[in-house]
Amino acid sequence: MIGASPGIGEAHAEQPAREGWSCSPVARRHEQLVELAPPLAAGVELRGFCDPVIALFLPDQIEALVALGQLERADALAAMLEEHGRNHERALATATASRCQSLVLAARGDLKQAAAAIDQALAAHARLEMPFELARTLLVNGLLERRARRKRCARDCFEQALSIFNQLGAKLWAERARAELDRSYRRRSSPGELTPTEQRIAELAAAGLTNRAIAERVFLSPKTVEANLARVYRKLGIRSRAPLGQAMAKRDRFETK
């Protein structure tokens, strides 16, 4: 994770900042987005409100801040975006603000309120004809449903998001949706095999994210991330994070032979 039409949405879908969703070095990509857009966020924070143009691009900044663990700043900006949508009856701003608020709440571990926020986003989408943004919201909804162990609902969300992204030609986002959908169908791993969650956490750790940043990214607690990493180390035959990247690369080469 914003245009006035699907065509604009398609263009945004291929921007490098959005690619962070589908690539393991997500932290570096989000950091680049935050570095490139500080005047935008800083201007909103200074004035205490956002104008219609900035409202189109602010959600990307907020989602990047969530991924980097800057939750207070992300929460404040999401609140300003929500106020803009409410005051000016902008359904797009309302939908994207609610989606951003859902991400912040999930990162804080409040999954009940995160689900309520995503429901508000979906209700706002019902007043819009912007399929790209709807697909992004469905993707977040799927992540929440899977975290709540409602796997069938999660798969439905991922399938809808994937279908929309494919129709729009948003390849990077379609890859992300496909990866999440495939993950939801995977069977239970054998004793020495990494589970999908362990695989994802290992990839993020190898990319340099801290346990807290990983937790916020995958909607788990830091303690759960730590426990998953401990199992990863044991399965890979290592004792610390330092050789993780090399061990993962070696494992991938072995599995592709």
- How far is it, in rounded angstroms, from Cα 115 to Cα 113? 5
Q: Reply yes or no on whether the pLDDT at 14 is more than 50.
A: no
Q: What is the C-alpha to C-alpha distance for residues 5 and 146, in angstroms, rounded to an integer? A: 30
Closest CA to 71 of 99, 109, 107, 96: 107
Residue length of the chain: 257
Q: What local confidence, expressed as pLDDT, does residue 106 receive?
A: 93
| Per-residue model confidence as pLDDT tens digits over 120-160 | 999 999 999 999 999 999 999 999 999 888 989 999 999 99
The per-residue pLDDT for 191 is: 64
Query: Considering the chain, what is the average pLDDT of its residues?
Result: 79
Residues 41-53, buried b or exposed e (16+ Cβ, 10 A)? Answer: beebeeeeebeee
Q: What pLDDT does residue 165 have?
A: 95
Position 6 pLDDT exceeds 70:
no
pLDDT reported for residue 186: 66
Task: Report all structural domains of the chain as residue ranges with CATH numbers, in order of start.
Answer: 6-185 (1.25.40.10), 196-256 (1.10.10.10)
* Residue type, position 64, single letter: A
> Does residue 30 register a pLDDT over 60?
no
Looking at residue 33, what is its pLDDT? 53
Q: Which pLDDT tens digit goes with each residue over 184-236?
A: 876 555 667 888 788 889 989 988 889 888 887 776 778 889 999 999 999 88
Residue 11: pLDDT band with limits 50, 70, 90:
very low
The pairs formed by 252-256 with CB atoms below 8 angstroms and a separation of 24 or more are none
Convert the pLDDT of each residue in 59-116 to its tens digit. Answer: 888 888 888 788 998 999 999 899 988 988 899 999 999 999 999 999 998 999 999 9
In the prediction, which pLDDT does 60 show?
A: 87
Tell me what pLDDT residue 217 has.
77
Which of 200, 196, 194, 186 minimizes the C-alpha distance to 233? 194
Q: What is the pLDDT at residue 67?
A: 80
Number of helical H runs and strand E runs in the chain: 15, 0
Reported as a pLDDT band with limits 50, 70 and 90, residue 42 is: low
Using pLDDT thresholds of 50, 70 and 90, give the confidence band for residue 20: very low
CA distance 181 to 142: 9
Instruction: Give the model's pLDDT for residue 113.
Output: 96
